[in-house]
Structure 1
């Protein structure tokens, strides 16, 4: 692995080349949010009040799902303070944008801004990081999951993208709840319950069939769109001891019109360098990164990134590799031997899963033994 630097180190190198306006809030982003909000309200009203053919309801659902996701991307930007700076207005607008995804602004800022951004790809501190082999041996649930054959597990993993953001948000509420002061806990619960109360209330008013098209199916679609980005942000990158965005993050490429409609959410490395900068200026940041550190920067088409995720496991081995525990197949990660165009693996010796119940730390020892075997074979 190359020498690692903090995001502040990179930002200090690039900042002198950026215009001053790049560090100011961009309130005009709210116009796009207003369009999405009006389309969302109109779509829900159309499904709820009109007796449309199911095909039309399905088309409106797809539009609503796209809107839900795009509003989430805007909410992400708003809650980083890159649209408005006043805290009360930031949180109010962020809550509105995240309303379809049922995530409150206080929880999001604690989970995403304060924890994920500060400890990106730190196995212990980043709540979004995937587990290492050592953590796998300590978790009965993970051991059970990884008994499932890899192809089947990959299929269900991709299918779960349609619900994963919602489920992970609920998990983060439970995970961080105790960290909030007592006076703030009621606010956190209120911000979580109000959106759900709204959507459940809609169900009681319009009935199950229309609610499916007005909210549930759009929520599945939005989850899938949002998680398609989030899954590629870091899951092909190594766990790192230093929060280096050029090592631990991946930017994906999508058609320009998609970039505009999704508020440039694809520029994820750039976002981790300048989280308080509007994504409007990330294409400019990208130009400077590729000029100054072309060999460090990771980017690939979204379709290729998703295909690579499908073909590789999600358990870390020695921090800078990925392992399929059942077979002992070890894959590289970005910057450490992973070639998305030609994915290969090497073998290490692992302990059968049946023995993990009695000796949960055996796999760690087996991993070390496999590493020693690798060294012996190369000497």
Structure 2
């Protein structure tokens, strides 16, 4: 891998080439959020008030789930301060947008803005990074899981995308709550509990059958859409000691109409260079990156990125991806991964090394 640079180093090089308006909030993005909110409310009322055979609710559930995900993408943008700047309004609108995913704005800014963005792909400090082989070997359950063949693990991993965001969000709440100032903790707890209270209240109001189609199935769909993006953001990239977005982040390409629906969420490398910039201007940032550092920039068609995730193991060891069950090593982006012909690299982790890692982990216990 080439020498790494911080995101600030890249941003300083590119900022003079960008218009000043690119660094101003873009409140017109809220019109898209209003459209999704109206669609969601109308769809929920349709299921709630219409008594038909439950299978007829499925298409409506898909629409609700897609709207949940899109609102989450907008909430992500709002809480970076790129839509409105007033803190109370930013948090209020962010809370509304993240309501379907039941993630509070204060938790999100702590977990995502202040930790993930600062320590992206750092194996110890990034709460969203995939664990290293050494960390996996410390868990008896994960040791058993990683003995399964790679295709089997990949299948269950992709199935888990339908609930990963929700589970991870709850986990982040447990981890980060104690780091908040004691005076702010009640607000953080309130933001976490109230959305779930509304969804539980909905269950009591409409009953379990309609609730499945009004919330549970849409939540699974939203998780799947959101996590399909998040999984491609960094999991094919290596871990890095220096927070270098061109090394540790991946931009995926989707049809233009999808970018419109998802608020340009596919431009992830650009987002890590300028998290305080509206995603409206990320196509301009992408063009500048490709002009300055075309050999360092990683982009991939969305479907091919998902296929690459399916075909490669996830644990990291020495910046590459290793399969604990076979010892086979696959490159990461910039570290030997050929996305046009995904295969293991020439070297292979010796079984004795895997046993040694496991032994060391047990001794540490």
TM > 0.5 fold call: yes
The answer to whether the 8 Å contact 2:327/2:349 transfers is yes
Aligned to 2:28: 28
Q: Deviations over 1:211-235 (max 9, x none)?
A: 1111100000000000000000000
Alignment of 1:133 with 2:112, yes or no, is: no
Q: Distance in 1 between matches of 2:122 and 2:355?
A: 29
SS of 2:27 mapped into structure 1: coil
Aligned to 1:335: 334
Q: CA RMSD, aligned part only? A: 1.5
Shift of 1:122: 0.3
Q: Deviations over 1:42-78 (max 9, x none)?
A: 1001001111343431110000000000000000000
Q: Distance in 1 between matches of 2:233 and 2:192?
A: 25
Q: Deviations over 1:225-253 (max 9, x none)?
A: 00000000000000001000000000000
Alignment of 1:317 with 2:317, yes or no, is: yes
> CA distance change for structure 1 residues 355 and 273 in 2, over 3 Å: closer, same or farther?
closer
Aligned to 2:171: 171
Aligned to 2:291: 291
Q: Distance in 2 between matches of 1:296 and 1:131?
A: 24
The answer to whether the 8 Å contact 1:326/1:353 transfers is no
> CA distance change for structure 1 residues 318 and 354 in 2, over 3 Å: closer, same or farther?
closer
Shift of 1:356: 7.0
Q: Distance in 2 between matches of 1:357 and 1:290?
A: 42
The answer to whether the 8 Å contact 1:265/1:279 transfers is yes
**TM-score normalised by length of structure 2:** 0.96
Aligned to 2:305: 305
Unaligned runs of 5+ in 2: none
SS of 1:300 mapped into structure 2: strand
The total of aligned residue pairs comes to: 361
Alignment of 1:109 with 2:109, yes or no, is: yes
> CA distance change for structure 1 residues 352 and 12 in 2, over 3 Å: closer, same or farther?
closer
Aligned to 1:16: 16
The answer to whether the 8 Å contact 2:327/2:354 transfers is no
Shift of 1:177: 1.2
Aligned to 1:350: 351
SS of 2:157 mapped into structure 1: helix
Aligned to 1:200: 200
Q: Distance in 1 between matches of 2:170 and 2:148?
A: 25
Q: Deviations over 1:154-197 (max 9, x none)?
A: 10000000000000000100111111111111111111110000
Shift of 1:355: 8.2
The answer to whether the 8 Å contact 1:134/1:361 transfers is no
Shift of 1:138: 2.4
